[in-house]
Amino acid sequence: MKRTASKRLVTISDVAQSAGVSKATAARVLGSYGTASPVVKEKVREAAKRLGYQANELARSMTTGKSKTIGVVVGDIENPYFGQAVRGISDAAHAAGFDVILSNSGEDAAKEKAAVRVLMGKRVDGLIVTPASVFETQHLHEVQRSGRPLVLLDRTIPDLAVDAVVTDDRQAAEAATRALIEAGHRRIAYISATESEDPIYRGPHQINLSTVMERIEGVVAASRSAGIQHPERYIRLGAHRRGLGDKIIAELLQGADRPTAILASDTVVALEVFKTLRRLGMSIPGDLSLVAFHDADWTSVTSPPITVIAQPVYELGFESAQILVRRITGMGDTPRCRVLATTLIKRQSIGAPPELEDSGAVLQDDAAKIG
C-alpha cells in the first residue's frame, strides 16, 4: 500500500522538480497558459499524474483575482421554490464555467448580511441574492460600491441600482383576484408568509419585501376596480411559522364577515389552509375557494386540485445567473430589472361563494365605512 503522507499536498514545485523543469514551466503546462514544447508538456503531465497533483484553487484565485465562482444567498433552501431557482442558477453557471457557493439566510437580514460578508471574503466573482428585507440593505449597497456584480433574485430593492430578475407579482395577484371576483367572490383574503409581528395589515411600512407589496397592490387594485370596499381588511401577514399560520387562518375563517376566498402567498401557506379547513370541517370549494402562488408538483393531486399561479422559477434562476455571468465577463450597460410573466393554472379549487347568513350585515358594514 502506498503510504501517501496525509498532510502535505503535492504542489506545482514538486511536480516541476520531479519533471526536471522550472516551477514556471510546470505552471504553464498545468495552468494551460503561455507556451511549452510538446516534449516538456508530456513530461510535466506525466509527473503531475504520477504524483497525484491537484491545483490549489485558492492560490490560483489569489493571484488572478478571479475565482470562477458565484455566490448565492437564498431565503430558504428547504422551500422547493428556491430549490428550483437554485437548479436554474447552477445550470446556467456551470454552462458558463462557474461554480456555485450556496448559503441560506432563513429570511433573516442579519444572517443574510453575514452570508454576504463570507462570500465576499471568499472573493466570489459575483453574487445572486434574494434580499430578505427592503429596509436592511447596507451590505448590498456595499457590494455594489465594491464593484462586484450583484443580481437580485425574485425581489427588488427600490434604491439599489443593480440587475434584478423577478416575476410579475402585481399582475399575477390581480389576475388571481379577478378570477375569484368573476366566480362571485367579494370577500377575498390574501395570506402572506412574510415576516411580521403583527398579523393584521396596517400599511406599507410593515412590508419588507417588494413581492409582498406588489401582490397586495394587485389584490387591492383588482378588488377596487370591482367596487369592493376596503379590501385590505382581509390581508394577513406572518403566516410563516407553522403553528402561527394555523392560528391566523382559523381566526380569519371563524371571525365575523369571514372571507369566502383565500389567496395564499405560497404552497406552504396553502397547505396550512388545507389542514385548518379539514380541522374546521369546511370544504374546498364549497365553503371556501383557494388560489395559491407557486405550482408545486403536488398541487395537482389534492382534492380538489388547487388553482395556482405558476411562476417560471427555474428560468428566474437561470436568467439571473446568465445576467450575472455577462456582467462578470463583459461590462456595464445600465442595470435592468427583468420581469418574467406568470400563468394562472385553473384547477378545481375555485367555486361560487357560499350563501353566508351575515352577508347583508357585511354590505351594511361596508356602507357604514363610506358614510
Residues near DNA, by CB under 7 A: 8-9, 11-13, 21-25, 27-28, 30-31, 33-37, 39-40, 53, 55-56, 59-60, 62-64
Backbone angles phi, psi at 67, to 5 degrees: -115, -5
Which C-beta is closer to DNA: that of 37 or that of 364? 37
Residues 6+ apart with CB under 8 A from 55: 12, 30, 31
Question: What is d(CA 211, CA 265) in angstroms, rounded to the nearest whole number?
Answer: 10
**Pick from 278, 279, 346, 369: which binds a second copy (CB under 8 A)?**
278
DSSP 8-state code for residue 335: P
Which C-beta is closer to a second copy: that of 147 or that of 227? 147
Taking the complex as a whole, the smallest distance from the CB of residue 146 to a second copy amounts, in Å, to 7
Which C-beta is closer to DNA: that of 121 or that of 158? 121
145 binds, among a second copy, DNA, none (CB under 5 to 8 A by kind): a second copy
45 binds, among a second copy, DNA, none (CB under 5 to 8 A by kind): none
**Pick from 38, 121, 158, 243: which binds a second copy (CB under 8 A)?**
121
Question: What is d(CA 116, CA 98) in angstroms, rounded to the nearest whole number?
Answer: 18
Between residue 61 and residue 100, which ones bind a second copy under the rule CB under 8 A? 61-62, 67, 69, 77-80, 83-84, 86-87, 90, 99-100
- Decide if residue 274 touches a second copy (CB under 8 A): yes
Backbone angles phi, psi at 77, to 5 degrees: -65, -30
- Decide if residue 254 touches a second copy (CB under 8 A): no
**Pick from 142, 217, 232, 287: which binds a second copy (CB under 8 A)?**
142
DSSP 75-99: S-TTSHHHHHHHHHHHHHHHHTT-E
Cα-Cα end-to-end distance for the chain: 91
Which C-beta is closer to DNA: that of 142 or that of 246? 142
Between residue 38 and residue 57, which ones bind a second copy under the rule CB under 8 A? 52, 54-57
Taking the complex as a whole, the smallest distance from the CB of residue 40 to DNA amounts, in Å, to 4
Cis amide prior to 285 (ω within 30 degrees): yes
Backbone angles phi, psi at 54, to 5 degrees: -130, 125
Count of CA atoms in the C-beta half-sphere (13 A) of 216: 25
Which C-beta is closer to DNA: that of 146 or that of 334? 146
Taking the complex as a whole, the smallest distance from the CB of residue 220 to a second copy amounts, in Å, to 29
Total interface residues for a second copy by CB under 8 A: 53
Taking the complex as a whole, the smallest distance from the CB of residue 76 to a second copy amounts, in Å, to 8
Q: How many CB atoms lie within 10 A of CB 222?
A: 23
Buried b / exposed e over 155-189, threshold 16 CB at 10 Å, is bbbeebebbbbbbbbbbbbbbbbbbbbeeebbbbb
Task: Assess contact for 349 and 244: CB atoms under 8 A.
Answer: no
21 binds, among DNA, a second copy, none (CB under 5 to 8 A by kind): DNA
Taking the complex as a whole, the smallest distance from the CB of residue 299 to a second copy amounts, in Å, to 8
- Decide if residue 271 touches a second copy (CB under 8 A): yes
Residue 101 has which C-alpha cell?
457557493
Taking the complex as a whole, the smallest distance from the CB of residue 181 to DNA amounts, in Å, to 58
Which C-beta is closer to DNA: that of 11 or that of 302? 11
Which C-beta is closer to a second copy: that of 201 or that of 293? 293
Helix (H) or strand (E) segment spanning residue 268: helix 267-280
Distances (CA, A) of 173 to 127, 189, 308, 343: 29, 11, 11, 11
298 binds, among DNA, a second copy, none (CB under 5 to 8 A by kind): a second copy
Q: Give me Rg for the CA atoms of the chain.
A: 27
- Using CB under 8 A, list all residues that contact a second copy: 4, 6-7, 9, 52, 54-59, 61-62, 67, 69, 77-80, 83-84, 86-87, 90, 99-104, 117-118, 120-123, 142, 145-147, 267-268, 271, 274-275, 278, 296-298, 300-303
